[in-house]
Amino acid sequence: MGDRLTLSVIKADIGGFVGHCSVHPALVDEAQRYLAQSTLLEDFRVATVGDDLNLIMTHRHGVDHAPVHRLAWDVFISCTAIARDKKLYGAGQDLLSDAFSGNVRGMGPGVAEMELEERESEPVVVFMADKTSPGAWNYPLYKMFGDPFNTAGLVIDPKLHDGFRFEVQDFLEYRLVDFDLPEDMYDLLVFIGATGRFAIKSVRSRQTGLIAAVSSTQKLNLLAGRYVGKDDPVCIVRCQNGFPAVGEALEPFAMPHLVSGWMRGSHWGPLMPVSQADARPTRFDGPPRVVALGFQLCRGKLVGPQDFFSDISYDRARQTAGTIADYMRQHGPFEPHRLDLDQMEYTTLPQVVQKLQGRFRAIS
């Protein structure tokens, strides 16, 4: 037990209400009840985005701490029992195994954790998204920590002027690579522009070496080797005084960028910033949503949340997302609304090819 603090966000979809739309309140109550009886934590909040249950926890045990991961796992198991009892949709869908093996990474749930020395004042934002996947954070994290047109501090605040180090994960070859911005900006963009293959895993201040952001990079379908749901991701960003201001961290979401996910995890659609109450993807199971919860960390406690995207200044982004959704939807089954064949979570192509086998003929 040190005095360093760990902020762990562990999430899973363990049953939807109704369909894949939201989390039933009984599951939130159960998660709250379960976490409240643990002596491991300094504090916690249970939050939801769409059909995902997010456990936001502070503790003194560091990242990848087996008992904390087991606690989250046990919460999900316990909530799954309720989801099964109510016959909620896809009960237990993100839990890829029956037995916990010491760490929830690789077992289905998404994890973003950072260990930090609590500063004199420690504002953090927890971003949670539904109906999309980890590459969805590439654009906003790049804007926050790499783009002076988004983050004024990169230009005019001496504490940010040295830039940030981006750690990028390659999903296909399962490896990591670092980029130092601003000088490696073009190299970084070559990779993170390919959101299906590369994702920003963490960001650090180059001046202080302090951790600035972490994201969940679990890819359920790669883990399971089959479609078992989406990898709806979470991300933690530290703000102010050497990090982007809260407003600089929120600003990228004024542009509802296109992310993969939406209906059947197989379509491009705009990421709509919403309040927690409005994070109920309905239209064509979407459009994909992002919620931003702000906290002041105070001697290990979570003071908050502040539900940032409930602010009216995000109304226009929501309007724009609606307009983009109209436009994208009109493409129906055509790319680029539908993902390309390599990235689709559902496909009937092998069956259709099989059925039509005799009808294909060589071109002479």
Q: Which does 263 bind (CB under 5 to 8 A by kind): Mg ion, ligand F6R, none?
A: ligand F6R
230 near ligand F6R (CB under 6 A): yes
Q: Which does 265 bind (CB under 5 to 8 A by kind): Mg ion, ligand F6R, none?
A: ligand F6R
How far is the C-alpha of 67 from the C-alpha of 146, rounded, in Å?
Answer: 36
Helix (H, G, I), strand (E, B) or coil at 233: coil
Per-residue x/- track, 121-140, Mg ion (CB under 5 A)? ---------x----------
Which residues 246-285 are close enough to bind ligand F6R by CB under 6 A?
Answer: 261, 263-265, 285
Number of neighbours of residue 343 by Cβ within 10 angstroms: 17
Which residues 130-169 are close enough to bind ligand F6R by CB under 6 A?
Answer: 131
- Give Cα separations from 304 to 30, 88, 125, 162, 296 (angstroms): 20, 30, 10, 31, 7
Q: Which does 52 bind (CB under 5 to 8 A by kind): Mg ion, ligand F6R, none?
A: Mg ion
Closer to Mg ion by CB, 61 or 289: give it: 289
How far is the C-alpha of 252 from the C-alpha of 257, rounded, in Å?
Answer: 9
Paired tokens of 47: 């939050």
Size of the site for ligand F6R (CB under 6 A): 11
CB within 8 Å of 178: residues ≥ 6 apart = 165, 166, 167, 168
Q: Which does 30 bind (CB under 5 to 8 A by kind): Mg ion, ligand F6R, none?
A: none
Residues belonging to the active site: 13, 227, 230
Between the CA atoms of 218, 22, 285 and 228, what dihedral angle is there, to the nearest 10 degrees?
A: 40
* Member of 5, 9, 13, 268 binding Mg ion (CB under 5 A): 13
How far is the C-alpha of 135 from the C-alpha of 157, rounded, in Å?
Answer: 29
User: Which of these, 62, 90, 112, 61, lies nearest to 237 by C-alpha position?
Assistant: 112
19 near ligand F6R (CB under 6 A): yes
232 near Mg ion (CB under 5 A): yes
Closer to ligand F6R by CB, 229 or 287: give it: 229
16 near Mg ion (CB under 5 A): yes
Which residues 41-70 are close enough to bind Mg ion by CB under 5 A?
Answer: 50-52
Paired tokens of 224: 């399971």
Binding site for Mg ion (CB under 5 A): 13, 16, 20, 50-52, 90, 130, 232
Binding site for ligand F6R (CB under 6 A): 19-20, 90, 131, 229-230, 261, 263-265, 285
